[in-house]
Amino acid sequence: MNKKTDHHWEIEKLNEIKALDKKPSLLMHSCCAVCNSWPLEYLVPYFNITLYYNNSNIYPESEFDHRLSELKNYVDLFNEKHATSITIIAQPYDYLNYHATYLSKRADDKEGYKRCGMCYALRITETLNYASQNGFDYVTTVMTISRQKNADKINGIAKRLASGYPKIQYFYSNFKKNKGIDFSVNVSKNLGIYRQEYCGCEYSVHNLYDE
Ligand code: SF4
């Protein structure tokens, strides 16, 4: 699907949802507070949103806990400001297994290449599985807001995976658009929210110090 079609799909889908009597449910894969700030702001008028924090790719565990804690604080503030009741479903941390089973097999890949594609796919699959088991209408991921991540690549992977779940629609997104990045930077500055310097796994920590 090309960029123009993705964008048109997004606009048409939001117009279609706006005309419904009831907001559909959306399970939003979430990796941290900063990346989540714009997607929540943008989509809360259209969906009943639940956040899904499944990120065993994050190293070390203290970092996983810190990002989750900041996300909880941000969602509390968001709910107060918007009179919403958004909740977070957090899955247990299991980096040892995630690393041994997946990441270590592509240890030499550059960031953004096959290891990352596999990492996006795993977390999107887990999100789709949870959504399917719990009757959600839509799934999306906030990862497309990251400057370091290719939104087309993430959307392509998610579209292919979602085709195996006929009752769920994947919401195509490029949250970098509509000044999404500026919004998230401002939120981080104004509210003093933690903004991490690396993606998640130990290889992305190494990249930080190698560069
Ligand atoms: S750099 Fe990020 S997306 Fe890539 S494998 Fe590591 S945690 Fe996953």
C-alpha 161 to ligand 1 mean position (Å): 19
Report the 10 Å Cβ neighbour count for 37. Answer: 26
Find tokens 């941000």 and name the residue: 74
pTM beyond 0.85: the answer is yes
Please, which residues bridge with residue 31 across strands? none
Report whether residue 199 contacts ligand 1, using a CB cutoff of 6 Å.
yes
pLDDT score, position 4: 59
Report whether residue 111 contacts ligand 1, using a CB cutoff of 6 Å.
yes
Taking 80 as the threshold, does the pLDDT of residue 126 lie above it? yes
Taking 70 as the threshold, does the pLDDT of residue 3 lie above it? no
Report whether residue 17 contacts ligand 1, using a CB cutoff of 6 Å.
no
Confidence of residue 43 (pLDDT cuts 50, 70, 90): very high
Give exposure, 125-134, as e/b (b: 16+ Cβ within 10 Å).
bbbbebbbee
Confidence of residue 40 (pLDDT cuts 50, 70, 90): very high
Whole-number average pLDDT of the chain? 94
Burial of 100 per CB tally in 10 Å (0-12, 13-18, 19+): exposed
Using alpha carbons, select from 61, 56, 164, 131 the residue that is nearest to residue 101: 56
Separation CA 110–CA 211 (nearest Å): 12
Using alpha carbons, select from 119, 126, 135, 134 the residue that is nearest to residue 162: 126
C-alpha 176 to ligand 1 mean position (Å): 19
Closest ligand 1 atom number to CA of residue 57: 7
Average pLDDT over residues 159-168: 97
Report whether residue 36 contacts ligand 1, using a CB cutoff of 6 Å.
no
pLDDT digits (tens, 9 = 90+) for 59-118: 999 999 999 999 999 999 999 999 999 999 999 999 999 999 999 999 999 999 999 999
Separation CA 5–CA 114 (nearest Å): 25
> Taking a C-beta distance cutoff of 8 angstroms, is the pair 157, 3 a contact?
no
C-alpha 163 to ligand 1 mean position (Å): 24
Taking 70 as the threshold, does the pLDDT of residue 210 lie above it? no
C-alpha 199 to ligand 1 mean position (Å): 6
C-alpha 119 to ligand 1 mean position (Å): 6
3-state secondary structure the chain: CCHHHHHHHHHHHHHHHHCCCCCCEEEEECCCHHHHHHHHHHHCCCCEEEEEECCCCCCCHHHHHHHHHHHHHHHHHHHHHHCCCCEEEECCCCHHHHHHHCHHHHCCCCCCCHHHHHHHHHHHHHHHHHHHHCCCCEEEEHHHHCCCCCHHHHHHHHHHHHCCCCCCEECCCCCCCCCHHHHHHHHHHHHCCCCCCCCCCHHHHHHHHHC
Q: Whose CA is nearest to atom 4 of ligand 1?
A: 116
Domains of the chain: 3-210 (3.40.50.620)
